[in-house]
Amino acid sequence: MGAGGTGMAPLALFLRGAGHDVTACDDAFTQPVREMLLSGGVKLAELPDPGKGFDEIVHSSAIKSNHPVMISARQSEIPIFRRGQALAQSVTDKKLVAVVGSHGKTTTTAMLVHLLGYADVAFGYVVGGFFDEAGVPSARWAADQWVIAEVDESDGTIECFEPEITVVLNCDLDHVDRYEDLEDMKAAYGRLFARTKGQVFVPYGHELQNLANEEASCEVSTFGPGGCFDAEVKETDRGLHVIRNTENGKVEESVRALGDFNGWNAVAALVVCEKIAGQAPLDRLGSFPGLKRRQVVLCDSAERMIMEDYAHHPVELTAILRHFRNVSPQRHLRVVFQPHRFSRQTSLRESFAEALSVADDLYLLPTYGAGETPSDSGRSDTLIGLLPDSLSQTRVYQGFYELSDALEKNSDDQDCVLFLGAGDIEKYASAFVHFEATGRDRWLACGRYLRQRLSPETAFRFNEPLASKTTLRVGGKARLYCEPSSLDDLRELIMAARLFELPIFALGRGSNLIVPTEGYEGIVICMRSSSWRSIETMSDNRLIVGSGARLKEICLMACSQGLSGFEFLEGIPGTLGGALRMNAGAMGGDIFDLVESVTIMNKEGVRREMNRKEFHTAYRECPELKDAFVINATMRAPATSTDSLILDQLRGFAKTRQHTQPYQASAGCIFRNPMGESAGRLIDEEGLKGIRVGEAEVSRKHGNFIINRGGATAEDVLSLISLVRRKVEASRGIVLEPEVTLMGKSWEETFKKNL
């Protein structure tokens, strides 16, 4: 559970490598993580049933105890473990190298894995991040003894480990929701030292050295200037140099990282590599590929450098900002910062303000809660009053474009734009780079942004004609048209639309819809992929139906299972998602009469299941689905019957439609039925059947249908709708309201235009 994260995805790979059958689920898999897990033999599932063959549930700290899967697991008495507990359990028979510290664990672990790859040592590893190199997995299981892993103190599972070797990097107060103060946190480190079997490595001269000497029962060694492993770090504007003493004299190696703190991370990796392999390979640090979200340089030119980094603690911010001040003093330092967790922001607010005061310009994003309950004291704007006068213009930016406008380069000065934080700030950084590179063209920028995030199976086209995708066969193009192949792709599209502030429209089969001639200046999402069209039969007369399944397909499946009550769907030319959004109906039945629950994704990209009672449906509308995407629905048959009786009902409905509804291209009923009246009868009584505008015609068979005679335009159809509406109002005093949707436009404006 929560397997899309940087801690859980590698663990899933490691457990799979150990021979376990692993199923991973998450509300927000990214495409690279999805591919990495699948290539490693991990199964993916949206919401698995713990009662069906699972032995254990492993979850991240983001998964709360009231999650449906967690509740089900407890009811089924299935053991539940946190990430750290599961990792500790899986390495009990191994020689574990535990990398610990408030900062730098992931980078140091990755550097050690990289170095050991050049040594004659077999080992497995679990890195809490993703290598910035294609094809390099974040974890690998090996039958041999050594396992390299970072051990996290944030949730208290550090207490579960008994390492062979512990290397500690630093200790600063963090995770204030768990530790009362710094001494409480140090005590956890001390207990880990006491459980370490072979050797503890600590920075020379650090207060942790005394703690290790007091608590550890094994050998304690130091690294750094004057330590057992003597080394020093030199910082340049393009990277680092580590100088260490070897049997052959001093050796200097380059490190592809910024900030002297990363130099000491490299030294820690070297000392442990030497301990395990006998010696550390020479001149291999320079080929370390780095990690995603760690000092990722997105743009570097003579005029501007743009970088994104995971720094989210005052100590980390101080280190990275000090680096740029020291090595690039001529550059104007512009910092975009997103606080991570309300509790951290509340407790360390003064330290954050002090660290960020180094910037020339500071731009704040709202606090990223990471599952925490929002608090006023943890909001971003609480920093502003603590900043120096030089940063008096600092404010919180709520949207991408207002932030981009503020960051627009308006001088010839060299500058650095640093996006810092551990939430979703990397999306802002990526979007900004594409926005700048395309001359601030939001559509080109959005396209480039999405190409990096969507799976290859997702259809993704600009200026896509829509007329052929509707039942009326009129209208222009979609500025961007997408057919997501998975839930993750759908979420990426929704979040991109939100980030770039672009309108978004859900397209089903295109019935009950008119596309204007000018098309749609937004993102059109159509659930046409086969992954959205599944129809699964369940017990108790239920079907689980994907949003892209056609109503006729649902009807036929129900018929094949002897389920009665679905017959009225047979002649409605739509898909489940569209039918639910407008509460489609016919022959006296409405779609929601069959609904037990609906799984949706809202405009924030959050997936949730809603039961029938949560929907406030009315005639041809469902407000709760206006801005949401249907994923699937559980539908229950009111009754069962024999195949022959159901088929008789189907034939009866089909015959009625053939006699009362036109066969030509149409959008279905155009107007809502007024209270106590029939829109079709009113139009018929006014003698409007058969009138035409261009190639659009009021059907001679049913007055509430407008048909396309073969060459109609959207203007023809809209003009005819307006004409019919005016004539009925003038004669009968009844204002007909449209039932059909007009994509991207207001009916009020259309009627005014056609007066």
Which residue of the set 620, 672, 692, 732 is catalytic? 620
Which residue of the set 150, 235, 308, 739 is catalytic? 739
Question: Cα–Cα distance between 210 and 202 in angstroms, integer?
Answer: 10
Which residue of the set 150, 316, 669, 697 is catalytic? 669
Strands 607-611 and 595-601: antiparallel
For residue 423, give Cα distances in angstroms to 322, 371, 618: 22, 11, 40
* Per-residue tokens: 688: 């409007």
Contact 214, 190 (CB under 8 A): yes
Question: Cα–Cα distance between 244 and 284 in angstroms, integer?
Answer: 14
For residue 565, the one-letter residue type is G
Strand-pair partners of 572 = none
Active site residue 669: yes
Question: What is the dihedral sign for C-alpha 360, 365, 366, 372?
Answer: negative
Closest CA to 85 of 118, 52, 58, 48: 58
Contact 364, 395 (CB under 8 A): yes
**Measured over all CA atoms, what is the biggest interatomic distance in the chain, rounded to whole angstroms?**
103
Active site residue 426: no
Instruction: Find the length of the chain.
Output: 755
Question: Cα–Cα distance between 694 and 378 in angstroms, integer?
Answer: 62
Phi, psi for 94 (deg, rounded to 5): -115, 165
Question: Cα–Cα distance between 173 and 751 in angstroms, integer?
Answer: 64
Tokens 């927000």 label which residue? 28
| 375 half-sphere exposure, CB direction, 13 A CA radius | 15
Angle at which helix 487-499 crosses helix 442-451, to 10 degrees, equals 150
Question: Cα–Cα distance between 48 and 69 in angstroms, integer?
Answer: 7
Tokens 């100590």 label which residue? 315
Active site (catalytic) residues: 620, 669, 739
